[in-house]
Amino acid sequence: MIAVALPNRLELVVIMFAAWRLGAAVTPVNPGLTDAEARHQIEDSGAKVVITDDRGMGTLDVAAFADTPADRSPDAVSPASDALALIIYTSGTTGRPKGVMLDHANIAAMCRMIVDGIGLDETDHSLLVLPLFHVNGIVVSVLSPLLAGGRATIAGRFRAPAFFASVEAAGPTYFSAVPAIYAMLVSLPDDVRPDTSSLRRAICGAAPMPAELIARFENRFGVPVVEGYGLSEGTCASTLNPPAGPRRPGTVGLPLPGQTVAVMDAEGHLLDAGSVGEVVVRGPNVMRGYLGLPDETARTVVDGWLHTGDVGRFDTDGHLVLVDRIKDMIIRGGENIYPKEIENVLHTHPAVLEAAVVGAPEPVLGEVPVAYVTLLPGAAATAEELVDHCRGSLARVKVPVSVVVTESLPKNPVGKIDKPRLRSFTVSS
């Protein structure tokens, strides 16, 4: 096992390929972790080698060995399909990060599904902006275009003001990003009018993207947004809005070829279209398991079905609509409230850029919804105005008891809104 703690750069990709050539597996480490956080991943994964730039530890300088005579290079290994390829650590929003074990069969199947689902070919060129310690960056932006005969450009750390300069310089046909990145791009000054003619599509995953944000991005920059859904335990993606259409904003699309995606009730029965339940996934992309956590694996993968922890339903045309995370549900006086429904209403307000709703403890009702929002540059809205906006579209029990207008929302390392941190803010206040 080789641990790689590097920012997005070519060497990280080369190291990954070299490790696989030698028959080793790789665990990419977020270079922004503290030493204590990185130590957990390195020790938990059983890494024998750690490759980094400079973390103040004892190192071997690779350059010092460049002229060392060697009889031959190590023989290349053709790893078995069930050989471990990657251990991707979850972002830890539900506790200490867990190591998701992905084998070469998982990776190969997922890349083929992405190539077929998006329709990638040798003319495609991805611009990598997501971190390479996350499976989306590895699979969607690097491995899949290369498998299709195309190419990838590594943009380095994402900075909204510099992003479109990279697009104009590299001429990519697509990029993959999270909703927070799209929110930052639509917030750029009005005089930013880039040449986006090379882009055939923009892909969004990791978290549901509000339909209003999709429309703002498409109308401003003229690039269609293709929203998908998946998780690390499923090697990245399970559904995708078809790039050729019809795309359904507000849904995360159709199951990718080679996977079965369904909705299941608490007793394990599959549900018909329109019924709400837990989203479950089955296919060759489902992880081998969590490293060293057999009980957690057994609870997550049951009879071949990967239980995602997400609540959803299928519409009559087979598009998946995400309702919320099971663990994010708020129970107010016995009534189940899904925060995403409230967030969707807040996003329809013309001043709102981002919205997140969490439950706050309440001595009589148990929990009540509290909303946090950021506003578009130059826009104005008061908390009272936003609460009134919710009253016009939501039942009384779902209306947030308060709205906090803030400059930014906390994000985890992958770019998702960090709801556990918001809950801690809510409890402490």
**Residue 69 confidence (pLDDT):** 59
Span 224-251, average pLDDT = 91
Span 297-325, average pLDDT = 93
**Residue 257 confidence (pLDDT):** 93
Span 311-322, average pLDDT = 92
Q: Which residue has the tokens 């329109």?
A: 274
User: Containing H/E element for 310?
Assistant: strand 305-314
11-56 per-position pLDDT tens digit: 999 999 999 999 999 999 988 888 878 888 999 999 999 999 875 5
Cα torsion angle, 394, 398, 402, 405, sign: negative
Q: Does the structure show a pLDDT above 90 at 379?
A: yes
**Residue 200 confidence (pLDDT):** 96
Alpha carbons 326 and 311: distance in angstroms, whole number: 6
Average pLDDT of the chain, as a whole number: 90
3-state SS, 205-273, equals: CCCCCCHHHHHHHHHHHCCCEEEEECCHHHCCCCEECCCCCCCCCCCCCEECCCCEEEEECCCCCECCC
**Residue 414 confidence (pLDDT):** 76
**Residue 64 confidence (pLDDT):** 61
pTM, full prediction:
0.82
Helices (H), 100-203: 104-118, 135-138, 144-147, 160-170, 179-186
58-111 per-position pLDDT tens digit: 555 666 655 655 555 666 667 788 899 999 998 655 567 899 999 999 999 999
Q: Which residue has the tokens 């909303």?
A: 371
Span 184-201, average pLDDT = 94
**Percentage of the chain with pLDDT > 90?**
67
Residue 247 CA neighbour count, 13 Å, CB half: 21
Q: In what order do the strands lie in the sheet with 151-154?
A: 151-154, 125-128, 174-177, 201-204, 225-229, 239-240, 254-255
**Residue 57 confidence (pLDDT):** 56
Q: Which two tokens stand for residue 356?
A: 């997140």
Q: Does the structure show a pLDDT above 70 at 152?
A: yes
Span 144-155, average pLDDT = 96
Q: Binning pLDDT at 50, 70 and 90, where does residue 254 land? A: very high
**Residue 328 confidence (pLDDT):** 86
**Percentage of the chain with pLDDT > 70?**
93
Q: How far apart are the first and last CA of the chain?
A: 44
Q: Does the structure show a pLDDT above 80 at 114?
A: yes
Q: Which domains does the chain have, with CATH numbers?
A: 80-323 (3.40.50.12780), 329-428 (3.30.300.30)
256-302 per-position pLDDT tens digit: 999 999 999 989 999 999 999 999 999 999 999 999 999 999 999 99
Task: Assign 79 to helix, strand or coil.
Answer: coil
DSSP string, 9-49: SHHHHHHHHHHHHTT--EEE--TTS-HHHHHHHHHHHT-SE
**Residue 205 confidence (pLDDT):** 84
Those residues with Cβ within 8 angstroms of residue 82's Cβ, 6 or more apart along the chain or in another chain: 103, 104, 105, 288
